[in-house]
């Protein structure tokens, strides 16, 4: 009796594992093909020449969204921060890192408060 129950449980677990693995593999495959833009390329053979205009529209729509500009963390400054200056503006590039951290903490606290 014990052996029979163990056999049934083992078969059930194997079926569940196979189903979950198959579902996960399909989800990963669709996500990768969607990310690479190859959703329809799997069904149709690749062709020479310029791609269809519909494919170009999808790519340009995804690329046209820009990130918002990051401003200098120094209070009262409206300059744009740049990585070359340590994410502060060119006027404040010589400030100490501890002072910049203090300004960022103040800005975060003010943003969280209101």
pLDDT tens digits for range 35-91: 787 655 445 566 788 877 765 555 555 566 788 889 999 999 999 999 998 899 999
Task: Check: CB of residue 56 under 8 Å from CB of residue 37.
Answer: no
More reliable by pLDDT, 89 or 34: 89
What pLDDT, on a 0 to 100 scale, did the predictor assign at position 98?
95
Q: Which residues contact 52 (CB under 8 A, 6 or more apart)?
A: none
User: Which residue from 80, 86, 109 is spatially nearest to 98, judged by alpha carbons?
Assistant: 86
* pTM, 2 dp: 0.43
Domain ranges of the chain: 1-43, 68-114
| Token pair of 22 as six digits | 């198959």
Q: Which residues contact 91 (CB under 8 A, 6 or more apart)?
A: 72, 77, 79
* 3: three-class secondary structure by DSSP: helix
| Token pair of 49 as six digits | 């020449």
Residue 48 DSSP class: S
More reliable by pLDDT, 40 or 108: 108
Task: Check: CB of residue 71 under 8 Å from CB of residue 77.
Answer: yes
What pLDDT, on a 0 to 100 scale, did the predictor assign at position 15?
95
What pLDDT, on a 0 to 100 scale, did the predictor assign at position 81?
93
């Amino acid at each position: 009796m014990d052996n029979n129950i163990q056999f049934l449980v083992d078969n059930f677990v194997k079926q569940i594992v196979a189903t979950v693995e198959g579902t996960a593999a399909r989800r990963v495959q669709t996500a990768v093909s969607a990310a690479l833009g190859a959703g329809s390329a799997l069904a149709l053979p690749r062709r020479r020449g310029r791609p269809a205009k519909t494919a170009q529209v999808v790519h340009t729509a995804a690329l046209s969204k820009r990130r918002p500009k990051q401003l200098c963390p120094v209070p009262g400054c409206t300059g744009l921060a740049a990585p070359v200056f340590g994410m502060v503006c060119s006027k404040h590039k010589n400030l100490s890192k501890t002072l910049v951290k203090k300004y960022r903490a103040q800005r975060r606290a003010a943003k969280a408060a209101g």
